[in-house]
Structure 1
Amino acid sequence: MTASKKVHLLVLIHGMWGNPTHLTEMFRIYNETIGPAADESRSGPDGEELHVIVPETNKDSATYDGIDWGGERVTEEIYEEVKKLAAEGKTVTRFSITGYSLGGLIGRYVVGILMQKDFFESVTPVNFSTVATPHLGQVLTKTFLSKTFAFFGPKLLSRTGKQLYAQDKWAGSGKPLLDNLADSGLVFYKALSSFQRVRFYANAINDVTVPYLTAAAATSDPFPGYSYSGLKIEINGKYAPIIESFTPPETPKPKPPGPRPFTKPWFRSLEPRLPPILQFKYPANLVIYVLLPVLVPVFFSMIMVRLSLEKRDSIARLKVLESDESYRERLVHVVGQLEKTIEDAAIDIMESPEPQSGSGSSQTLLHVGPASSSPPPEGSSKPTAPSPFLSPRQLQIAETLSRLPNLKKELAFIDQILNSHAVIVARDVQRFEHHRRGQGVLQHLADNFVM
């Protein structure tokens, strides 16, 4: 009888409004670098071959349905893939995840489900990587745009919006889902801690969608004013735009005065703030600026209509999902029941003079003891002045995540661009040439992948 071929399963998870095509370059580079058909194919310690999948069921407007429901869908696809491989005579023995944007949070939820289902009893967790993922949720600033998104986001992005802005109370815990994901006493954190390598890739600058603080789970930002402050940044020669190192100035330089309004230099300075489709040379760009007061309201009106319709569809889907009999098997229900059991037990303890002992199997499964007191990762330092844009709960999440035993943070420096969020994963190189600047990040991911 032929021995079963062993497989290292890598799951790539896209972000909000996303679909598998957004990770086409990531999929290609992983396979061409370490896949079975690669020129220098790598194998695991027991001869495992890489097998990469990009889940299909949680795409486009389905991403409105919540990090938790997205995680449940992805988990189902993982189990289906494991069964499919088994039918082909292949056994999954090693497991990794790379999540982009919202996909990183979904991935953190997925590994909690997998641990709760004893998946890792027979499968070794190896690499867990996130790219431009809002680990702290959405970071609020004092700008009008940030305040506008904070107002409309939870209202128009359905369950996911509430979770990203921490306006939900998950599983009866009374706490937002993001707090539960980072609770060192719950299965999500334990599962993440079990991976041999954990990597958070973050844009150091220009990520309007997922800024540095939340992508890197950091408490302070050394990069504001990088172009004039005297901050020294060294780019990795092999993996540009990955930052090799950076040195803050002893005394930051003040911001220089900008060009006079409505001069040619002033118009040129505005170009990086516009999307590529609206970047024209002078004087054609004047026409665009004149039309902006008309174009912007029309654009935002169209966006609002689309978001409203997709939110309505999401609410309808959630009603169906939560009425399904299988809902009782979902992790959100398991944790909710656990919270109620613990609460009832606490009341019994307070009302009874006799000491209570013992715990149920579910409690043992989901709680793993007090928060780790291990020091921050090597090379990091605790900031003396945390960012004023982070709430106390976000600071706590950042500090807890930074204590992950195998965590390393990698930063990308993508300048001269409006929004680096899509560029960091080379999301659409066919339409936008500048997205190729993110290929160095993807190559860094693949070359540092542990088989």
Structure 2
Amino acid sequence: MADHLCILIHGLWGKPKHLKNLATSLQAEYPQDKLHVLVTKSNSNSFTYDGIELGGERTANEVEEEIKKLEEGGNKITKISIVGYSLGGLVARYVVGLLYSKGYFDRIKPVNFTTFATPHLGVRSPLLGPHNYLWNVLGARTLSTSGRQLFTVDSFRDTGRPLLTILADPNSVFIRGLAQFKHRTLYSNIVNDRSVVYYTSCITYKDPFVNIDAVDLQPLAGYDGVLLRPDEPVRPKPRVPLGFWARVRSTGWSTLTAVPLYLLLAVLIPVGSMLFLINSGYQTIRSAQRVRLHESGGANFGIERYRSNPLLEEAQNLEERVFDRLNANQGQDYLPTPPSEDEERFSKSEHSGSKFKGQEKFPTLALTSDQFYMIEGLDGVGFTKYPVHISKVRHTHAAIIVRTNRWGFDEGKVVVGHWVKHFEV
């Protein structure tokens, strides 16, 4: 009988079937007599609008019920692993804090914690000036509670601090619980992830892949160039003057060939954006109703179990496509030189998790003080970080976990295969 439970948690607008390939790949390698896999379903579809906290409580309740059911059936669970995809990685980190605070890790050994394309630092685009306000502040209002938390404009339980900073606080149950896991691993797309860009999924303040033609990728041996080395994923290329035709291709010609696409987007984006905003407003109203019901005790379980004093004390101390398109169009800004106080402090820190060989040669993104704080907290507990280069498709956010079986997602199978191979049972 399996004594190891692995929990899989989907992302924003997600559903259990998005994780089918992760689950089947894991079970193909480790049969049910070695590993029991739970694909969570209590926080699916529009329920993901309701926020990381509420989603984490629903999921923790589902996990507790599963452990109880297994143990009543004779399966004593002694090991646990948790895997989150996209927003599910943040929900997973919240669940870890809840389980830790309730004493589960005193009797169940935490083994593997993994995230795929998770926005650990939120989804704020590194922007300065008016664009920062227009996108990061106004954009936060389109996804209800989850949107405010992802853009870090929320205040967790009236602490005056965004939830994501609480999740990264070294003194919190969330980080203390995370530190209990034997393995902490993340996989991060380096290009074409329109939902969760590299810097936030890889927990870093540098992005060496903004101009991928200007760098030499350093592949991890045996993985077809899809996975890059965690210690040195990239090296800058020597600058070589472009020839005549190269300059033509990189300027006028590429712009001319892109004109039909721009015309198409000029028509589709306003229409799609209007539909997105209308649906977003409707879902925000529905989400607020669910949250009020949840807070008033109308959930199918007692939320007081997850609102205990220790947790409060730690706190004190077309939808998806349109959103992806808007997010991808924001670009990134960099901090000015000389370096800011945050950058200066980080350049002297010993947090190897946020560094790789040669990282200092790349500029620092215009992150907020909260985001620098999150990096420090998360790198303090430590992650093994695998940059992922998927090149056959432009929807790498779905491809990284092979969310559907479609052409071009084979590179995602390489990523999943690596994860399964290094998963400890």
TM-score (norm 2): 0.82
Change beyond 3 A, Cα 1:417–1:448:
same
Q: Deviations over 1:63-113 (max 9, x none)?
A: 011101100011111111111112221111100011000000000000100
Change beyond 3 A, Cα 1:33–1:308:
same
Distance (Å, rounded) in 1 between the aligned partners of 2:82 and 2:22? 12
Distance (Å, rounded) in 1 between the aligned partners of 2:12 and 2:40? 14
Name the aligned partner's letter for residue 283 of structure 2: E
Please name the residue that 1:400 is paired with.
377
Structure 1 residue 50 displacement after superposition: 0.3
Query: Of 20, 36, 57, which aligns to 2:42?
Result: 57
Structure 1 residue 220 displacement after superposition: 1.0
1:98 alignment partner, SS class: strand
Change beyond 3 A, Cα 1:295–1:242:
same
Structure 1 residue 267 displacement after superposition: 6.1
Change beyond 3 A, Cα 1:427–1:149:
farther
Distance (Å, rounded) in 1 between the aligned partners of 2:360 and 2:92? 28
Structure 2 residue runs without a partner (length 5+): 318-348
Distance (Å, rounded) in 1 between the aligned partners of 2:223 and 2:250? 39
Structure 1 residue 252 displacement after superposition: 4.6
Structure 1 residue 241 displacement after superposition: 1.4
Structure 1 residue runs without a partner (length 5+): 37-47, 271-284, 343-372
Distance (Å, rounded) in 1 between the aligned partners of 2:77 and 2:167? 26
Give percent identity, aligned residues only: 31
Structure 1 residue 438 displacement after superposition: 0.7
Distance (Å, rounded) in 2 between the aligned partners of 1:119 and 1:127? 15
Name the aligned partner's letter for residue 61 of structure 1: S
2:54 alignment partner, SS class: helix
CA contact (8 A) 2:216 2:237 kept: no
| RMSD between superposed Cα atoms in Å | 2.9
Please name the residue that 1:8 is paired with.
4
Name the aligned partner's letter for residue 35 of structure 2: L
Please name the residue that 1:121 is paired with.
106
CA contact (8 A) 1:139 1:389 kept: no
Structure 1 residue 315 displacement after superposition: 0.4
Please name the residue that 1:316 is paired with.
289
Change beyond 3 A, Cα 1:160–1:260:
closer
1:449 aligns with 2:417: no
Structure 1 residue 200 displacement after superposition: 1.3
Distance (Å, rounded) in 2 between the aligned partners of 1:301 and 1:402? 39
1:73 alignment partner, SS class: helix
CA contact (8 A) 1:239 1:441 kept: no
1:29 aligns with 2:6: no
Please name the residue that 1:91 is paired with.
76
Change beyond 3 A, Cα 1:333–1:435:
farther
Structure 1 residue 389 displacement after superposition: 2.5
Please name the residue that 2:119 is paired with.
134
Aligned length: 384
1:445 alignment partner, SS class: helix
CA contact (8 A) 1:239 1:443 kept: no
1:248 alignment partner, SS class: strand
Distance (Å, rounded) in 1 between the aligned partners of 2:126 and 2:306? 35
Distance (Å, rounded) in 2 between the aligned partners of 1:238 and 1:388? 29
> What is the 5 A alignment of 1:165-184?
165-184=151-170
Please name the residue that 1:216 is paired with.
202
CA contact (8 A) 2:124 2:136 kept: no
> What is the 5 A alignment of 1:145-164?
149-164=135-150
Q: Deviations over 1:401-445 (max 9, x none)?
A: 11224x21111011254331111111111xx31223211111111
Query: Of 290, 296, 312, which aligns to 2:269?
Result: 296
Q: Deviations over 1:8-41 (max 9, x none)?
A: 00000000011111111111111112223xxxxx
CA contact (8 A) 1:115 1:187 kept: yes
Q: Deviations over 1:346-403 (max 9, x none)?
A: xxxxxxxxxxxxxxxxxxxxxxxxxxx9752497367476623211221121122112
> What is the 5 A alignment of 1:237-248?
237-238=222-223, 240-244=225-229, 246-248=233-235
Distance (Å, rounded) in 2 between the aligned partners of 1:314 and 1:162? 13
Greater Cα shift, 247-256 or 48-57: 247-256
Larger radius of gyration: 1
Name the aligned partner's letter for residue 68 of structure 2: K
